[in-house]
Amino acid sequence: MRQKSNGKQQFIIKRAAGFLLLIFAFTGIIGICVGKKDNRIRADSGMETERMAEENTKAASGKIKEEEVKKVALTFDDGPNPDHTETLLEGLKERNVKATFFLLGAECEKYPEIVKKIHADGHLIGVHSYEHVNLSNLTDQAAMEQVDKTDQIIFGLTGEHAQYIRPPYGCWKCNLDYETKMIEVLWDVDPLDWKTDNSSVIAKRVMDKVQENDIILLHDASESSVNAALLIIDELQGEGYSFVTVEELILE
């Protein structure tokens, strides 16, 4: 009887042990599965974080590119002109463009209201000369009279002295740098607009050469030049260019 009882007890113990092993094994499998699930969630979460970081980087990069605007400066010599300058001013205002006007003193005396309008519209005004003469052919005193007389006229009409000068033909006397504080401004692109009355030709000459940070030379003394200027603005704005005064370009 004792042997049967012992055999029965051993059988019960073995079954209990087997049952416990089965429970432990099942628990382990669950643990492994949960662990794998947790790892997948963490991995997915990491991938999502990386994806979001990439998108944020792309967005920031796009914003930076949008802020990196290409700039050019439009400049007009020989004005103010009674027939064409005001038409140009209206076109510039419609396109939200600021330009630089190098004025002749004699013309400023004839058309003071146009000078005031140029200034009121926020454009930069510089000196060209009084009578459009080659300053390098004059004595120092005569050359300075051309410059100073024009500046005084501009000051009387706008309340501001000119800070920039473009000498006619680009001819300046180096020793006059000691006589005036004005900064000499020349140009990068000259389409020779005074040689043709074809606006499209003028615009194409500019578009073929213009680059970022260039200064474009034009005149506001003819209909063709004014029309060409507006064509140039429309094309360059379409290419992402912004128009600034020479002061903004130089001081950048």
What are the tens digits of pLDDT across the range 143-171?
A: 999 999 999 999 999 999 999 999 999 99
The pLDDT value given to residue 250: 85
Question: How many H-runs (helices) and E-runs (strands) does the chain carry?
Answer: 8, 7
Percent of the chain with pLDDT over 90: 67
Distance CA 108, CA 155 (A): 11
Catalytic residue among 77, 78, 151, 220: 77
Q: Please say whether the beta carbons of 146 and 179 come within 8 A.
A: no
Indicate if 219 belongs to the active site.
Answer: yes
3-class secondary-structure state, position 190: coil
Torsion of CA 220, 137, 247, 232, to 10 degrees: 30
Task: Flag whether pLDDT at 13 surpasses 50.
Answer: no
| Residue range 76-88: mean pLDDT, rounded | 98
| Conformational region of residue 192, where left means phi above 0, alpha means psi within -120 to 50, and beta covers everything else | left
Task: Flag whether pLDDT at 216 surpasses 90.
Answer: yes
Q: Nearest Cα to 100, choosing from 117, 118, 86, 85?
A: 118
Question: Residue 89 carries which side chain, given as an amino acid letter?
Answer: L
The pLDDT value given to residue 178: 64
pTM of the model: 0.73
Percent of the chain with pLDDT over 70: 73
Q: Please say whether the beta carbons of 206 and 232 come within 8 A.
A: yes
| Residue range 35-57: mean pLDDT, rounded | 40
Q: How many residues does the chain have?
A: 252
Catalytic residue among 84, 123, 219, 220: 219
CA distances from 64 to 3, 58, 68, 69, 212 (A): 90, 10, 6, 10, 17
Tokens of 126: 């510089």
> Which residues have CB under 8 Å from 211's CB, separation 6+?
188
Indicate if 77 belongs to the active site.
Answer: yes
Task: Flag whether pLDDT at 179 surpasses 60.
Answer: yes
